[in-house]
Amino acid sequence: MRLTKQTNYAFRILMYCSANGGQLSRVAEIAKAYGVSEPFLFKILQPLNEGGLIETVRGRNGGIRLAQDASDITLLDVVRLTEDSFSMAECFDREDADCPLVETCKLSAALREALNAFFAVLAKHSIADLAKPNDSIGFLLGLERRKDAIVAA
Amino acid sequence: MRLTKQTNYAFRILMYCSANGGQLSRVAEIAKAYGVSEPFLFKILQPLNEGGLIETVRGRNGGIRLAQDASDITLLDVVRLTEDSFSMAECFDREDADCPLVETCKLSAALREALNAFFAVLAKHSIADLAKPNDSIGFLLGLERRKDAIVAA
């Protein structure tokens, strides 16, 4: 049982944007900060954009930023957009289930209860809890150095 | 995020054995009841056997049965034996992590909290909660019919 790499980088993209405050973040910068390719990040941006978590500004000075306050974006909002499936058992999708116990079995209900407990914790944590403007995360991502450079210029 | 097919059939094997009481269950019967192949079930039996959840009796009248009381085997005991990994983020395995935030990030802690909530629910439910001797599960699995046949013979 794992979360996908896409989900993990979705969290990190949103943390980067949060650490960067209302400023636009370039995908090239985010890719560099995390050591991944831009095409990989673009694929993850699509569901985040369609799901209303980020907004994209096109053009030479374009980039991405959070479309909502970081404290309003929970970890559950993210996994709902980026994970393909939370199928804990074949019988979660009843149409596919060919188990002879499908009508009476309590396994599915127990697994659903466990999954709901997992979701409830994710719903308690927001992107703002993980990264805010001017905290150490921004420094580690190179955002503070960039601001210094701007001030010095 | 999914549980593997192996885990799902591990639950079902243990439920079958529980519904069958202390009697030995043949793998061929379990495979037939669930419509899967015997080699597939044998692969799943190995970790269940090594982990002390089932015991195997060899020979012509051999089979498998629970090695513990069904009420002592929790769903958590099962997933611990059958799932390869619960890596919610790259940084769960610190040695692999090359994220610049690995030392300060609170994401990993939040995901671990969610995973622990998931585990806590699984630990509350036992195989006996899902299937007991003489309940309707046994009938659906063909166990009652088999007993009738034995009585009639």
Across the interface, do A3 and B129 touch by the CB < 8 Å criterion?
no
Pairwise CA distance, residues A8 & B1, whole Å: 12
Residue B91 belongs to some domain of the structure: no
Residue B76 belongs to some domain of the structure: yes
**Domain span at B57:** 5-86+126-152
pLDDT for the residue numbered B96:
58
A9: closest chain B residue by CA: B89
Task: Output the domain CATH number for residue B34.
Answer: 1.10.10.10
Question: Counting every residue, how long is chain B?
Answer: 153
Residue A125 has pLDDT above 70, yes or no: yes
Grade residue B55 by pLDDT with cuts at 50, 70 and 90: very high
ipTM of the shown complex: 0.82
Q: Would you call A64 helix, strand, or coil by DSSP?
A: strand
Task: Determine what percent of chain B is predicted with pLDDT higher than 90.
Answer: 50
pLDDT for the residue numbered B103:
62
Across all residues in chain B, what is the average pLDDT?
84
Grade residue A153 by pLDDT with cuts at 50, 70 and 90: very low
Mind listing the pLDDT tens digit for each residue in B104-144?
678 888 999 999 999 999 999 999 998 877 677 776 677 76
pLDDT for the residue numbered B143:
74
| Residue of B9, B13, B113, B118 to mutate when probing chain A, most A C-beta within 10 A | B118
Residue B102 belongs to some domain of the structure: no
Q: Are A35 and B98 in contact (CB under 8 A)?
A: yes
Residue B136 belongs to some domain of the structure: yes
pLDDT for the residue numbered B22:
81
What's the structural domain count of chain B?
A: 1
| Residue of A9, A90, A111 to mutate when probing chain B, most B C-beta within 10 A | A111
Residue B14 belongs to some domain of the structure: yes
Across the interface, do A88 and B137 touch by the CB < 8 Å criterion?
no
